[in-house]
Amino acid sequence: MYSVSPKEQERYRLRLMLLNVKGATSFENLRTNYSEAAKALGLLRGDEEWEECMREASAHQMPFQLRTLFVVIVCECAPGSACDLYERFKREMSEDFIFRFDNNEELGIEAGYADLERRLNQNGKSLSNLEWLCRGGLWKR
């Protein structure tokens, strides 16, 4: 069985359908767009999947592990809105820094943001390159 990265969206969705659709006899049965077909079959849940992943991880993982997971999701899974995902989990991803800065949430979140930037740079990405994902430019820090 071949694996496919979610980053390759069409190929990933085709693989989902080939694994889950029984009795497809033509491409028309699978529709013209694999993403559309996968959504119609309930195989994709959009960003809900990444939010659920972060929510489950935040219950059991340390903040540095959440930042690592966030970077993997952004770099490999192409979420529809990395900004919304960041906004939803920025506090959980920064709790170690918040504690380090005597419960100063603003400084802790800034430090978490800087750590995310460093981790993204290690993966050939940058928060400044991802800013377009946020409806207004800069991510709210």
The domain limits of the chain are 9-41, 47-134
d(CA 31, CA 37): 6
d(CA 86, CA 69): 11
- pLDDT tens digits for range 24-64: 666 666 555 666 666 667 766 677 888 999 999 999 999 99
Q: Which two tokens stand for residue 42?
A: 């309930």
Give pTM, 2 decimals.
0.68
Report whether 90 contacts 82 (CB < 8 A): no
Written as one letter, the residue type at 66 is L
Q: Which one has a higher pLDDT value, 67 or 36?
A: 67
**What's the pLDDT band for 7 if we cut at 50, 70, 90?**
confident
Of 32, 98, 84, which is closest to residue 54 (Cα–Cα)?
84
